[in-house]
Amino acid sequence: MSPYLTLDDVDVNGLAVLVRSDLNVPLDGGAVGDAFRIEAALPTLERLVDSGARVTVCSHLGRPEGEDPAFSLRPVAQRMAELTQKTVVFEDEGEGQVRVLENTRFMPGETKNDPALADRLANGVDLFVQDAFGSVHRAHVSTVGVPERVKSVAGPLLDAELKALSRFLEEPERPYSLILGGAKISDKLAVIENLLPRADAILVGGGMCFTLLAAKGIEVGKSLVEPDMIESVRRLLEGYDEEKIILPSDVVVAQEFKEDSPAETVYVRHIPEAMIGLDIGRETGAIFAGVIRDSNTVFWNGPMGVFEWERFRAGTERVAHAMAETSGFTAVGGGDSVAALRMLGLQGEVDHVSTGGGAGLELLEGKILPGVEVLERWAK
Ligand code: ADP
Ligand code: MG
């Protein structure tokens, strides 16, 4: 039994339904770049229309300071209209089956969960559907204020995210491993802290592995190190069986942080003083791939190297393929990790692709997500 209601628990026929979707699409010169978030949001909206609801959808887009036409949802509404058989209108411009509201971040008070704005947005709404997993870690009007005021349920996307990610917190099938990478250890240390006691192995690559290596006294040259984090990392490593945290044995190093910089592979104990580690090495890639394939539950967040540049992509590619080949339950989270997976055409090969970077991390840190907690009161 889930602690919140879902669309399966309510009859929406004839209701005015406000949906909070994640339509925070990448923009490309004023137009919608990649439409995958619109495509992901549509089935929920179409299902509501087909069930007889009058549907309004809202979302934030980017981080505008107040009303900034560059962040309008108008192009999103246009693209949505092209992608669905339903009629779509923007704001109050005519009649349609789905009404798209302007960027919630244009509404003064949204990010402060202002009560007056919440009253206004909730006015006339019979049912609120929270379907934007990527936003539920924030207490805004469109995530907390509105669902405090009107009956609310979790939409199918949110429900799927929570169900998938809960498998990494509650009784995961063993062996259970975690692959972490990306730029900064400071973003993900809390996740490591929370999951270390539960996981059988934590494999670390990406920029963040160099702070861990440095904490163990290894010279990492000019690689990305967060000096402020070394003490906390050291304390964390001390409390645990060293074998549980698997660090790279070899890395690809470059002379400069540049796409075409000359590069070579070295053992981590031989990183030249003047060089920067930009990917895990082949040996490490093979070890990581082996652990992934032997796991029954695997979560991956953070690229293994600067995958945007071909020369430093091999480690991420190796891990992505291992994730795709594993028969265990596999999930990938994080904007850049998902981008890497999509770039390799492997997004359909893992069991769950998590869309909410920050929200996913906070959930795995063991934090309560305010936009989910508020839904629970309607299930009581
Ligand atoms: P995600 O979005 O999947 O959570 P992050 O945002 O934490 O991942 O990190 C992604 C970024 O980390 C990528 O842009 C990648 O280039 C960078 N990165 C990976 N490895 C390194 C490295 N060794 N040095 C510097 N940056 C790195
Ligand atoms: Mg990122």
Separation of alpha carbons 92 and 95, rounded Å: 8
Taking the centre of ligand 2 as the mean of its atom positions, its distance from the CA of residue 98, in whole angstroms, is 31
Q: Does position 242 have pLDDT exceeding 80, yes or no?
A: no
Confidence of residue 29 (pLDDT cuts 50, 70, 90): confident
Query: Among residues 155, 105, 109, which one has the least CA distance to residue 130?
Result: 155
In this predicted model, what pLDDT tens digit does every residue of 320-341 receive, in sequence order?
Answer: 999 999 999 999 999 899 999 9
Return the pLDDT at 96: 97
| Dihedral pair phi/psi, residue 330, rounded to 5° | -120, 135
Taking the centre of ligand 2 as the mean of its atom positions, its distance from the CA of residue 208, in whole angstroms, is 13
Pocket test residue of 307, 336, 343, 365 for ligand 1, highest count of atoms within 8 A of CB: 336
**CA distances in angstroms from 173 to 67, 167, 203, 287, 296, listed in the order given:** 47, 8, 18, 21, 6
Is the minimum distance from the CB of 301 to ligand 1 under 6 angstroms? Answer: yes
Percent of the chain whose predicted confidence (pLDDT) is above 90: 92
Q: Give 117-168 as a 3 state SS string.
A: HHHHHHCCCCEEEECCHHHCCCCCHHHHHHHHHCCEEECHHHHHHHHHHHCC
Buried b (16+ CB within 10 A) or exposed e, 305-325: bbbebebbbbbbbbbbbbbbe
Residues 6 or more apart whose CB falls under 8 angstroms from that of 340 comprise 303, 307, 316, 320
- Common-topology check for domains 7-157 and 167-364: yes
Q: Are strands 176-180 and 201-204 parallel, antiparallel or unpaired?
A: parallel
More confident site: 315 or 236: 315
Active site residue 37: yes
Separation of alpha carbons 138 and 231, rounded Å: 29
- The top-level CATH class assigned to 167-364 is alpha beta
Ligand nearest to the CA of 183: 1
Taking the centre of ligand 2 as the mean of its atom positions, its distance from the CA of residue 184, in whole angstroms, is 10
- State the CB neighbour count (10 A cutoff) for residue 368: 9
Nearest-10 crossing angle of helices 314-325, 335-343: 80
Burial-class residue 217 by CB neighbours within 10 Å (0-12, 13-18, 19+): exposed
Return the pLDDT at 37: 94
Separation of alpha carbons 264 and 278, rounded Å: 10
Q: Are 102 and 121 in contact (CB under 8 A)?
A: no
Active site residue 235: no
**CA distances in angstroms from 312 to 178, 189, 193, 279, 303, listed in the order given:** 21, 24, 28, 5, 10
Return the pLDDT at 178: 96
Over residues 31-42, the mean pLDDT reads 94
Separation of alpha carbons 77 and 93, rounded Å: 11
Return the pLDDT at 255: 97
Residue 251 CA: nearest ligand 1 atom is: 23
Domain ranges of the chain: 7-157, 167-364
Residue 206 CA: nearest ligand 1 atom is: 20
Over residues 7-34, the mean pLDDT reads 95
Separation of alpha carbons 376 and 362, rounded Å: 18
Confidence of residue 319 (pLDDT cuts 50, 70, 90): very high
| Dihedral pair phi/psi, residue 312, rounded to 5° | -120, 30
Residue 279 CA: nearest ligand 1 atom is: 23
Is the minimum distance from the CB of 113 to ligand 1 under 6 angstroms? Answer: no
Given the residues 47, 149, 184, 293, the one annotated as active site: 184
Is the minimum distance from the CB of 221 to ligand 1 under 6 angstroms? Answer: no
Q: Are 41 and 5 in contact (CB under 8 A)?
A: no
Active site residue 221: no
Separation of alpha carbons 329 and 197, rounded Å: 19
Taking the centre of ligand 1 as the mean of its atom positions, its distance from the CA of residue 207, in whole angstroms, is 6
Q: Does position 57 have pLDDT exceeding 90, yes or no?
A: yes
In this predicted model, what pLDDT tens digit does every residue of 344-365 receive, in sequence order?
Answer: 999 999 999 998 888 999 999 9
Q: Whose CA is nearest to atom 22 of ligand 1?
A: 207
Is the minimum distance from the CB of 226 to ligand 1 under 6 angstroms? Answer: no
Q: Does position 38 have pLDDT exceeding 80, yes or no?
A: yes
In this predicted model, what pLDDT tens digit does every residue of 107-150 receive, in sequence order?
Answer: 999 999 999 999 999 999 999 999 999 999 999 999 999 999 99
Over residues 279-290, the mean pLDDT reads 98
Q: Does position 372 have pLDDT exceeding 90, yes or no?
A: yes
Confidence of residue 1 (pLDDT cuts 50, 70, 90): confident
Over residues 302-322, the mean pLDDT reads 98
Return the pLDDT at 362: 95
Residue 288: which H helix or E strand, with range? helix 282-293
Return the pLDDT at 238: 86
**CA distances in angstroms from 159 to 5, 12, 129, listed in the order given:** 9, 18, 11
Q: Give 48-107 as a 3 state SS string.
A: HHHCCCEEEEECCCCCCCCCCHHHCCHHHHHHHHHHCCCCEEECCCCCCCEEECCCHHHC
Phi-psi region for residue 290, left (φ > 0), alpha (ψ -120 to 50) or beta?
alpha
What CATH code is assigned to 7-157? Answer: 3.40.50.1260
Confidence of residue 247 (pLDDT cuts 50, 70, 90): very high
Return the pLDDT at 267: 98
Return the pLDDT at 310: 97
Return the pLDDT at 355: 84
Over residues 155-160, the mean pLDDT reads 97
Q: Are 258 and 312 in contact (CB under 8 A)?
A: no
Separation of alpha carbons 330 and 337, rounded Å: 13
Is the minimum distance from the CB of 335 to ligand 1 under 6 angstroms? Answer: yes
